[in-house]
Structures are given as C-alpha cells and as structure tokens.
Amino acid sequence: MKISIITPHFNDFEGIQQTHTCLVNQNTDQWEWIIVDDFSDISTKESLKAYFKEHNSTNIKLIFNDKKTNGSVCRNIGIDYVTAEKLVFLDSDDLISEDFVSNRLIDVQDFVVFKNSNILDEHGNNKPAPNVASHFLNHFLQAKFIWPVTAILWNKEFLIKIGKFNPDLKRLQDIELSIRALILGKNYKVIDNKVDFFYCVAPIDISKRPVNVICESVDYLITYMHQNYTLSKQQKSLVKGYYFLCIRYFYKSKRKEDLMYVQNSLKLFYKHKYFNVFSYLRGLIFLKLYRFNLISSDFFIRLNRYFYK
C-alpha cells in the first residue's frame, strides 16, 4: 500500500527542494512523487534536472510540459502517471510533517478529508484552519473554503470518474472540485485528524488575481452549478457568498473601471435565480453609489459584507 503525491510546478525550485526534504524525512517510504513542471524557465528546468540527478530515486517522476498550461492541467497530467490507487495533491509552497504519508495509508472508497491543518501566513505565523464538523457542502456553496486541496486523499478511480480538475476554470479550481465531489460522492468521510499539513496563504494580490479573472471564474462556477446540479432553495441562497468574493477583489483593486466585471456577475446571479429582484437591485444601487463617489469604499464593502457574505 502506498500513496501518490502530485505537485504542479512553475519556477519554484526552492519550493521543490523544500517538498523533497519533507518527503525524504517521512517515517515511511510508501510514497511516489510526481512533479509536473509547467514550462518553467530554462534555468529552472536545468536546476531541477541537476538536482534530481543528484538525488535520484525510483519514487520520483519529473515531467516537463512542452507549453505553458495551468495548475489544473498539470494536476490532471500527474494523475495519468500515478501507479498507486490513492493520491493527494501537494503544492511546492506548503509543508508536511514526517507522518503525513503514514497517516494516509488507509482504505479509501471515494475520498477521505483530513480536515485539520494549520495555516501559515506570509510572516510565518501559524493558526488552525476552520474547524467545521458538518454541512460541508453548504460551506463551500457559501464560498467558505473549509479545507484546501491537500486535505483530500482521493481514490484515483473516483477522481477520474467525476472528471478530475476542470481546466477551463482560471481560479477556484480546487473549490469547484470539492463541490463536485461532495455532490457526486456517495462513500466519503471527513476525519478529525492530527495536524500534519501546513497550508501557506498569501494576501490578495490583484496583479496575480485581477478582478476580471475572479469574476469570470465565479461566473463559470455559478453557471456550471445552475446547469448541472439541483440545489435546494436554501442551498441556492448560500451561493451569494461568491458575489461577495467578486466584491472583495473589486474593493482591493481600487479601480472603478473594474466595476463592469462585478456588475456582469451581479446580473448573472440574478439570471440564474441565486438572487431575487430585491437582492439584485440592492447590489446594483451599491455599485452605482460607489461608482459616483456617493459612498466611501469602506462603507461600500461593509454594506456588501452585511447583505451578501
């Protein structure tokens, strides 16, 4: 029994070294590591090749894409190379303890969530992840991201059956996959585990995640759910949290010209009946008041947080 670990990679050689150190320090060797390099710079590729020539291991597979794709495509490519029946995704900027692998040498039907992890901010401060005991799908529908992708140990066949990662999504890929798995999965469990995973987060960076990309991803996600899932009235009411996600990025951008992306998302929420006419008109009024400087940006975000978070 072993698990496969898949790491998408782009120009983060130091992160790969860090992950390698975590893996060689595991208290079991029942793992394989598939690294999918997403067309990194030539110097980074050469560094990777030299490093793994020096640290050669049959447990490690290094795959190079011949063109730039994205994290979802890389993860899906990695799935095609795994030999174990169980797999987990691990990014190169995250950390795992020495018993991470051994804790996951368990039977898996559809998937198992190891819900307890710690969050590391950009200053290295450590805090527990949200501790949620039930209604997992409802939290994700409300844009409350209660576990990262590495928390999930997948049965490979189930993951392939439900379609793997959606490569058309530019953001929220992990979130969409968790929603899909929770809706389609019949034999999964969420366990109250010992913390053995440390998830690194960074502040919102508009240059890397611009408002238009976030809004387009939200639009894709809510349209996909509208077309493919039958949500209850109560569940549909939760989805407003994704509109507030658009608002948050718009607030952070401080660019009034980005308002059109948020307004388009607002219209889509109304079209797909996640908002009633009153919620739609209220949101439209808030946008117009902010656009014409009739309310401050701080009051704008507080209003939206109260009604849409």
**Interval 153-163: pLDDT, tens:** 999 999 999 99
Least reliable range by pLDDT among 168-172, 219-223, 270-274: 168-172
The arrangement of secondary structure in 3-200, i.e. its CATH architecture, is Alpha-Beta Complex (3.90)
132 pLDDT band, cuts 50/70/90, is confident
- Which pLDDT value is given to residue 207? 67
- Mean pLDDT (whole number) for 225-242: 94
Does the pLDDT at position 214 exceed 90? yes
Query: What is this structure's pTM?
Result: 0.93
Checking if the pLDDT of 122 tops 70, the result is no
Please give, one letter per residue, the 3-state secondary structure of the chain: CCEEEEEEECCCHHHHHHHHHHHHCCCCCCEEEEEEECCCCHHHHHHHHHHHHHCCCCCEEEEECCCCCCHHHHHHHHHHHCCCCEEEECCCCCEECCCHHHHCCCCCCCEEEECCCEEECCCCCEEECCCCCCCHHHHHHCCCCCCCHHHEEEEHHHHHHCCCCCCCCCCCHHHHHHHHHHHHCCCEEEECCCCCEEEECCCCCCCCCCHHHHHHHHHHHHHHHHHHCCCCHHHHHHCHHHHHHHHHHHHHHCCHHHHHHHHHHHHHHHHCCCCCHHHHHHHHHHHHHHHCCCCCHHHHHHHHHHHHC
Mean pLDDT for the stretch of residues 245-259: 94
Taking residues 215-242, what's their average pLDDT? 95
Q: What mean pLDDT do residues 138-167 have?
A: 95
